[in-house]
Amino acid sequence: MHLRRTGLLASAAIAATLILAPAAPPALAQTPPGVLAIGQIAEPKSLDPAAVTAANDFRIVVNLYDGLVRYADGSFEIEPALAESWEVSEDGTVYTFTLREGVTFHDGTPVDAEAIVFNFDRMLDEEHPYHDTGPFPLSFFFSAIEEVEAVDARTVRFTLNEPYAPFLSNLAYPTGLIVSPTAVAEHGADFGRNPVGTGPFRFESWDANTAVVVVRNEEYWDGAPPLEAAIFRPITDANTRVAEMLSGGIDVMVEVPPDSVSRFAESEDFELYEQAGPHLWFLILNAKEPPFDDVRVRQAVNYAIDKETLVENVLQGTAEVASGPIPPAFAWAYNEELEPYPHDPERARQLIEEAGATGSTVTMFVTEGGSGMLDPVPMGTAIQADLEEVGLDVEIETYEWNTFLAQVNPGLEGKANMAQMAWMTNDPDTLPYLALRSEAMPDNGGFNSGYYSNPEVDRLLQEARTATDQEERARLYKEMQEIVHEDAPWAFVANWKQNAVTSAAVDDFALQPSFFLLLHDVTKE
């Protein structure tokens, strides 16, 4: 049962009052009751769930939309959402979903089987009339779909070209969230700024670089949320975000800067939350161009970076040293026998000398702040010092988050030798399949921005995603991790324990292992 609260919906005027009011001492600052102000790390790129890839955007869209299925609270277990039930064929290639009766989009149009077909055809069919409302960078998630059919108004059937183990999990991910076909037809390429879904909150306004305002959906199929509204404020500077939290200008802050964690943890005025999850912070190494086209230099980078010091000093214990491309949060698929590269500057120098790369100038792309990027500027400067100590001359170029993604995602060729990156994923398949396969090069719409290629890794990833037995999937993933660890296409740096802080007025808040920010049950006095 979900608590309902009476009262007027929060308006844009309330939001403006909250956002524009000057900062006040904690005793005086107060956001309106029932209105939750969240300090985000960056401006969202879009509110079209099929068009975004960053957790920063996901934190908003998961409150505006639903998928056919969703993750159960506190886990990656799949439970019904817009679909009340489903059946899977014995060979694992046909999924038949029965939709809930009477659910409508925020614009009043029905959620029927034709709407579901529209959503997936929009992403996957280049001839679809609204395919140009993309691009859809994570449509890879559904590349196994051969056909989506509306059997009747409440029944939709997916036929896959082969068994695909992550299919249900991917349907629960933001890329699988269902948008209103009517709204897409009305707004076209601008749908991402005029989002319409079925979620517990509906879109109210988006003031660029200031706030996204969402308001309570009184007709939500799973019970209207207690909050009247939520305001997502992009505050890119970490110190400003902390100051806003301390002054009462925001009620929730995600991705607490490491040097502020203890301050909030020790205060009775705030509640600090931490949650382990499937996260990897790494450096993409451009394997297409010197010096990182030589595996010895890529391995040298992994030996050169003092990851323990980064974790203990820069990140102040909010992360653990990473060993490979699959995070330990996926315990069943994680290769526990794989050790992180030790900090060995002498070995790094030796490898660089053997490769004839001593004194090479390399460019590293760094972001000012972005999803799960873990103090990117201090991390970048510390890594720069470590690499210069072993004979590489590192030049840093720093970009705002969305500009950074626009530089990195199309590939590093001709632009940079390495780039920071972080991924929060929903399945062991996701990150390596989208960012390490030979066919996932940027020219093919993938995220293999460093152009790594190993046919054996390709084979293992393909077999793992089609295996129906989890033990067999685990064996394949563990073998893949050993090869990637040796090939070192990335510098594996850290696995983050996500965090957030709320004011004492906020209750029923929880972090999710998915890194989603679910506000349906949150209350605020």
Q: pLDDT > 90: what percent of the chain? A: 82
Give residue 21's pLDDT band: very low, low, confident or very high (50, 70, 90): very low
Residue corresponding to tokens 């890194």: 515
Distances (CA, A) of 427 to 99, 321, 404, 458: 25, 20, 25, 17
CB-CB neighbours of 353 under 10 Å: 14
CB-based burial of residue 75 (10 Å sphere; 0-12 exposed, 13-18 middle, 19+ buried)?
A: exposed
pLDDT digit string (tens) for 199-222?
999 999 999 999 999 999 999 999
Q: Which domains does the chain have, with CATH numbers?
A: 65-193 (3.90.76.10), 279-498 (3.10.105.10)
pLDDT digit string (tens) for 26-48?
433 467 889 999 999 899 999 99
Residue corresponding to tokens 């505006």: 64
At residue 276, does pLDDT exceed 90? no
Q: Give the pLDDT mean for 389-414.
A: 96
> How, if at all, do strands 361-367 and 393-399 pair?
parallel
Which range of 147-151, 325-329, 424-428 scores highest in mean pLDDT? It is: 147-151
Integer Cα distance of 60 and 47 in angstroms: 8
- What average pLDDT does the structure give for the chain? 92
User: How many Cα atoms within 13 Å fall on the side-chain side of residue 458?
Assistant: 10
Give residue 375's pLDDT band: very low, low, confident or very high (50, 70, 90): confident
Strand partners, 104: 110
pLDDT digit string (tens) for 130-171?
999 999 988 989 999 999 999 999 999 999 999 999 999 999
Q: Nearest-CA neighbor of 493 among 335, 324, 275?
A: 324
Q: Give the pLDDT mean for 78-103.
A: 97
C-alpha dihedral over 382, 387, 390, 394, to 10 degrees? -120
Longest alpha-carbon distance in the chain: 71
At residue 8, does pLDDT exceed 60? no
Report the SS3 class of residue 423: strand
Phi, psi of 462 (to 5 degrees): -65, -45
pLDDT of amino acid 30: 65
Integer Cα distance of 372 and 495 in angstroms: 10
pLDDT digit string (tens) for 63-87?
999 999 999 998 889 999 999 999 9
Q: Which is higher by pLDDT, 16 or 246?
A: 246
Report the SS3 class of residue 28: coil
pLDDT of amino acid 64: 98
Integer Cα distance of 514 and 379 in angstroms: 24
pTM (2 decimals)? Answer: 0.80
Integer Cα distance of 164 and 148 in angstroms: 15
